[in-house]
Amino acid sequence: MTAHRIGIIGLGKIAQDQHLPVIGANPNFELLAVSSQRGLSHRDARHTFQDYRELLKLPELEAVSICTPPQVRYAIAREALLAGKSVLLEKPPAATLSELEDLRRLAARTGRVVFTTWHAQYNKAVKEARKALAGWSVRRLLVTWKEDVRHWHPGQQWIWQAGGFGVFDPGVNALSIVTRIMPEPVFIKTADLSFPSNRDAPIAAALTFAMNHGEGDLQAVFDWRQTGPQSWDIEVETEAGLILKLSQGGSCLEIGGRLVVKEEPAEYEGIYRRFDALLNARQSEIDDAPFRLVADAFMIGRRVQVEPFED
Ligand code: NAP
């Protein structure tokens, strides 16, 4: 089978850190083109454009990875699908649920593939945690996602704008693990959202969840004001008293105090293996569960104003 000819739209941090090297190392993909508003290029790409619309005109282009901020992802994805291209959507896959629903419809109408990527789900430790929890009832969940926004998002203004999701930009990674490993669906019960007085997106959030069965103590705490050690941890306790700990963003798993998985994350290698399979099967994969929890938190959340945030 010939390699999938792919283009990347938006050459920001994640495109450079992950998409470009991972595509370059996967023989099932050929980087045909890139588009960058700032006019960046890449040595592996045969074509470079500043306007992604020009990239979408390439007849031999099969698919694009949309690595822009979420606010513009839908408009670009829609144009790509209508131009007959398949799309890989960075997370979060759109700015609203309705936009994502429309992409689902368009995928069916155009016969092209739409793939929502939740990179944290591609850790072996997450897969093992899902297996270990299958069939059990959960009585306690504690998600602690605390990081230093100045370190991880220097100069990124879009994350503070409406539709940039603020602390939910990393928080949705935790939610994508929760929706993957929990043996039954969880719902947002309460959400306290802390908005800096000079920003349109939250810097911190405290969530509680409900389930259909039982009265579990299910919580998540997201905070972007963490300095010193960073925390990307999820702890789950089953009714039987078994404790699972996922740490380091989902790359490390302990069950009952025993280390079960600890490995270097290879999330994007897994994402492109999956995209290859989906393109070959002409099948879309649209998982909106993590995104629905974010939408629900914003919908029922109580907003608290906190001190202004300066970069
Ligand atoms: P970023 O560094 O700000 O890069 C986004 C790039 O998109 C910009 O550099 C720009 O690149 C392009 N762009 C910006 N506005 C645009 C517009 N209006 N129309 C078209 N292109 C536009 O952000 P990032 O960290 O790479 O994040 C991008 C997405 O990946 C986000 O949804 C984020 O949640 C997700 N993500 C990020 C990370 C991470 O570690 N940073 C990890 C996983 C997922 P050009 O000038 O080259 O066009």
Summarised one tens digit per residue, pLDDT across range 181-197 is: 999 999 999 999 999 99
Last residue of a domain, one of 116, 146, 169: 116
In a domain, 154, yes or no: yes
Q: pLDDT exceeding 90 applies to what percent of the chain?
A: 97
Q: What is the mean pLDDT of residues 156-174?
A: 97
Q: Are 120 and 176 in contact (CB under 8 A)?
A: yes
78 & 171 share domain: no
Query: Does residue 260 surpass a pLDDT of 90?
Result: yes
In a domain, 94, yes or no: yes
Beta bridge partners, 261, equal: 253
Summarised one tens digit per residue, pLDDT across range 59-90 is: 999 999 999 999 999 999 999 999 999 999 99
Residue 253 in tokens = 């798993």
Q: What CATH number is given to the structural domain containing 24?
A: 3.40.50.720
Query: What value does the mean pLDDT of the chain take?
Result: 97
**Beta carbon of 36 within 6 Å of any ligand 1 atom:** yes
Q: What b/e string do you get for 227-242 counting C-beta neighbours within 10 Å, with b at 16 or more?
A: eeebbbbbebbbeeee
Query: Which residue range is the domain that position 88 belongs to?
Result: 4-116
Last residue of a domain, one of 116, 145, 172: 116
pLDDT of residue 1: 74
In a domain, 28, yes or no: yes
In a domain, 287, yes or no: no
d(C-alpha 107, C-alpha 30), whole Å:
23
Last residue of a domain, one of 64, 81, 116: 116
Centroid of ligand 1 to alpha carbon of 142 (angstroms): 29
Asked if omega into 93 is within 30° of 0 (cis), the reply is no
Catalytically annotated residue among 85, 91, 146, 245: 91
Q: What CATH number is given to the structural domain containing 148?
A: 3.30.360.10
Beta bridge partners, 305, equal: 195
pLDDT band at 8 (very low <50, low <70, confident <90, very high): very high
Specify whether the backbone of 63 is left (phi greater than 0), alpha (psi in -120 to 50) or beta.
Answer: beta
Residue 109 in tokens = 């109408």
125: burial class by Cβ within 10 Å (0-12, 13-18, 19+)?
buried
Tokens 């992409």, residue? 103
**Beta carbon of 18 within 6 Å of any ligand 1 atom:** no
Centroid of ligand 1 to alpha carbon of 238 (angstroms): 38
Order of strands, edge to edge, in the sheet holding 204-211? Answer: 258-262, 252-255, 243-247, 231-238, 138-146, 217-223, 204-211, 186-196, 302-306
Mutation test residue for ligand 1: of 16, 20, 68, 169, the one with most atoms within 8 Å of CB: 68
Query: Does residue 214 surpass a pLDDT of 80?
Result: no
pLDDT of residue 311: 87
- For 6, the enclosing helix (H) or strand (E) is strand 4-9
Residue type, 227: T
Q: What b/e string do you get for 180-194 counting C-beta neighbours within 10 Å, with b at 16 or more?
A: bbbbeebebeebbbb
pLDDT band at 212 (very low <50, low <70, confident <90, very high): confident
In a domain, 52, yes or no: yes
Query: Does residue 245 surpass a pLDDT of 90?
Result: yes
Residue 196 in tokens = 């800096």
pLDDT of residue 208: 98
Q: What is the mean pLDDT of residues 199-203?
A: 98
pLDDT band at 265 (very low <50, low <70, confident <90, very high): confident
Q: Ligand 1, closest atom to CA 68?
A: 7
